[in-house]
Structure 1
Amino acid sequence: MKKIFLACMILLVFIACKEEAKTSVKEVKETITETVVEPVDSIVEVEIKEPVKKSARQLKEELTAKGFKTFDYVDKKTNDTILMQQYFMAFLKRGPIRGQNEEETADLQKEHLAHLAKMYELGYADISGPFGDDGDIRGITIYNVPTQKMADSLANSDPMVKAGRLEIEMHPWWAAKGFPLR
């Protein structure tokens, strides 16, 4: 009888502990659910400001103060005044030193693209790209700087030019300020 009583007591303790554990897990789950489900009321409003559109006159004054050459052109159809700005177009031509091995050429190309990206990020170059043929003129970069001396300096700091794989031919070029490519 003692064995049956002892077995029943062990069984009851075991069942009681099991129920207590279930309750504890259930309580923990409810606590976690309550914490996760709470709504978040923190919406951050961001004010997006439209860029201030400057008149051609204001833009011309700013550019002139920075040393850029400009002139006004009046469109006969619309009677609009168009501000023309001098840029510098660098023709990247096939250079005299082209004996680099494949690995050196690949490294130079990475450095060349990084240089062009940096010129764009700093605002010195507005557009760059290769030509689609295999001619002597390999590509162009249009520099948005006030002087040809500055454009020459930036173009000649290109790793491909320094290595002699490319050489630069620079020309002043006029374009309407702010007109996009189509």
Structure 2
Amino acid sequence: MKKITLFLLLGCALTYAQKAKPTYNKTLAQSLNADDYGMKHYVFCLLKTGNNTTATDKEKEELFKGHMANIKKLSEEGKLTVAGPFMENDREYRGIFIFNVATIEEAQALVASDPAVKAGIFEAELTPWYSSAALQEVPKIHEQIAKSKF
């Protein structure tokens, strides 16, 4: 009987824990510039294959190194929240950036700092985007889980 009672109590506790709402953290919300919904404005960037078809493999390799260095720099500055490549696809989609800026103009300046975009290896499409302010925490978490660095 004691085992059944313990089992039932444990089951009730787990059920309650799963239903319990997280507590609103005003300090964290303010530090992330979150609105009342925990959201904020970003700029979403879709990188597509550019029009540069004459770059040699060696030139592309150097441009890609510069591209990765720029990603690291923008992330460290807090301007780039998320970045990553697409897997092989038939749409010429190469990757995305989610810029932690409020305007297209700010994002255009950041995209212009990418050597691969400047060289026409990539072409960037920018659009305003509204999402969770918590995305800004991704780079910090990523640092803790990445065994290897670029």
Q: Given the two structures, how large is their TM-score scaled by the length of structure 1?
A: 0.56
Aligned to 1:119: 74
Deviation at 1:139, TM superposition (A): 0.2
Question: Is 1:146 aligned with 2:102?
Answer: yes
Counterpart pick for 2:42 among 65, 78, 87: 87
Question: Is 1:54 aligned with 2:27?
Answer: yes
After superposition, where does 1:4-153 map in structure 2 within 5 Å?
A: 54=27, 56=29, 58-59=30-31, 63=33, 71-72=35-36, 82-134=37-89, 135-153=91-109
Share of identical aligned residues, percent? Answer: 36
Output the CA distance in 2 between the equivalents of 1:176 and 1:98: 38
RMSD: 2.2
Output the CA distance in 2 between the equivalents of 1:156 and 1:85: 24
How has the CA–CA distance of structure 1 residues 178 and 94 changed in structure 2, closer, same or farther, with 3 Å as cutoff? same
State the aligned residue count.
112
1:117-159 residue CA offsets vs partner (Å, 9 max, x unmatched): 1110110001101001144110001000122210111012210
Question: Is 1:169 aligned with 2:128?
Answer: no
- SS, match of residue 178 in structure 1: helix
Q: Given the two structures, how large is their TM-score scaled by the length of structure 2?
A: 0.67
Q: Mark the structure with the bigger radius of gyration.
A: 1
The unaligned stretches of length 5 or more in structure 2 are 1-24, 139-150
How has the CA–CA distance of structure 1 residues 55 and 140 changed in structure 2, closer, same or farther, with 3 Å as cutoff? closer
Aligned to 1:15: none
Output the CA distance in 2 between the equivalents of 1:71 and 1:167: 32
Higher RCO (CA < 8 A, seq sep 6+) = 2
Counterpart residue type for residue 176 of structure 1: S
Output the CA distance in 2 between the equivalents of 1:95 and 1:106: 15
The unaligned stretches of length 5 or more in structure 1 are 1-51, 64-69, 73-81
1:23-70 residue CA offsets vs partner (Å, 9 max, x unmatched): xxxxxxxxxxxxxxxxxxxxxxxxxxxxx96154x347xx4xxxxxx6
**Maintained 8 Å contact 2:103/2:128:** no
- 4+ long deviations beyond 3 Å: none
